């Protein structure tokens, strides 16, 4: 099947939170008709005011859409919206494309794909990286697991949300790639926090230090985008601590199943657990800096 015509394609979005709302907005601006469902309708009001159509359930949305995109919180939420008796898999018409962009379990992604094939549906797992800014600007990196033909059909649609859309392999491969991404971020976040804390303790101007090291070999997305928020004491969520902990738990479980030791990931999970216990669960991942800036050896 060729690429879909925006003028005649209905795209359903399940999950319109920090990331999902911005992603749905890019799809709408590209000319697609967008239907939305979220457990809290209030989080969809801005999209409804811009022309999206509300559905009362994920199932009714799936029945009315040619493409269903899910961007929810946890694997349990993914399982619920797909496998419920009147959920997405039971309600979508044959030929519908299902795209789970939640960071979730590779095993669950494979299970959704198998169930979709049995019902004549097409399923992709397509988690993203780039945070709230990437979602707002349409510059996300989208990591895809599934059939190449299905991706090519949806590539123009996915391209409205991301600047890089890469097929990683069969179902579950997108989620495995996102786990690799989260492992790199977890260890890197510790390094950024320690570097800034060191600069402060050495009586340096951390903003000036950041100017130098962000442009050198230590440069990273975290250093350029989240370190300034750390220094400004801005811990508002682009990506919630509670969701990052969820991702690290999935990564630790997946690594264990692969027989792989990930000590850096394990340390990051321990530290973020401490942050959550201290009340930081609803803050952004950059709030890890609080642990380092407040500590002494």
Tell me the pLDDT tens digit for each residue of 139-161: 999 999 999 999 999 999 999 99
Q: Percent of the chain scored above 70 by pLDDT?
A: 98
CA gap 210, 229 in Å, rounded: 12
Q: Quick one: which of 164, 158, 74, 172 has its CA closest to 123?
A: 172
Of 232, 23, 151, residue with least CA distance to 11: 23
pLDDT digits (tens, 9 = 90+) for 65-74: 999 999 999 9
CA distances from 122 to 152, 154, 206 (A): 12, 11, 49
Q: What is the pTM of this model?
A: 0.92
| Residues tagged active-site | 178
pLDDT at residue 297 in the model:
47
Q: Which domains does the chain have, with CATH numbers?
A: 6-170 (3.40.50.720), 176-293 (1.10.1040.10)
């Amino acid at each position: 099947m060729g690429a879909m015509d925006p003028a005649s394609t209905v795209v359903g979005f399940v999950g319109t939170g920090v990331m999902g709302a911005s992603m749905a907005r890019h799809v709408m601006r590209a000319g697609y008709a967008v239907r939305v469902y979220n457990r809290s309708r209030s989080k969809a009001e801005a999209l409804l005011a811009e022309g999206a159509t509300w559905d009362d359930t994920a199932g009714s949305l799936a029945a009315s859409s040619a493409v269903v995109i899910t961007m929810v919180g946890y694997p349990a939420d993914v399982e619920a919206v797909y496998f419920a008796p009147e959920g997405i898999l039971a309600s979508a018409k044959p030929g519908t494309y299902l795209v789970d962009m939640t960071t979730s379990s590779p095993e669950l992604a494979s299970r959704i794909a198998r169930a979709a094939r049995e019902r004549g549906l097409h399923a992709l797992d397509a988690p993203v990286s780039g945070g709230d800014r990437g979602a707002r600007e349409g510059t996300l990196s989208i990591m895809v697991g599934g059939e190449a033909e299905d991706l090519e059909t949806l590539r123009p649609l996915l391209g409205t949300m991301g600047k890089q859309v890469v097929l990683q392999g069969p179902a579950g491969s997108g989620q495995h790639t996102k786990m690799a991404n989260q492992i790199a971020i977890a260890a890197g976040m510790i390094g950024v926090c320690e570097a800034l804390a060191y600069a402060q303790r050495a009586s340096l101007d951390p903003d000036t230090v950041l100017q130098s090291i962000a442009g050198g070999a230590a440069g990273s997305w975290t250093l350029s985008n989240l370190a300034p928020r750390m220094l400004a004491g801005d811990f508002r969520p682009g990506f919630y601590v509670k969701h990052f902990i969820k991702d690290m738990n999935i990564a630790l479980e997946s690594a264990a199943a692969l027989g792989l030791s990930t000590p850096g990931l394990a340390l990051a999970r321990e530290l973020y657990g401490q942050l959550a216990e201290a009340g930081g669960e609803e803050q952004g991942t950059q709030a890890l800096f609080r642990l380092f800036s407040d500590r002494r050896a």
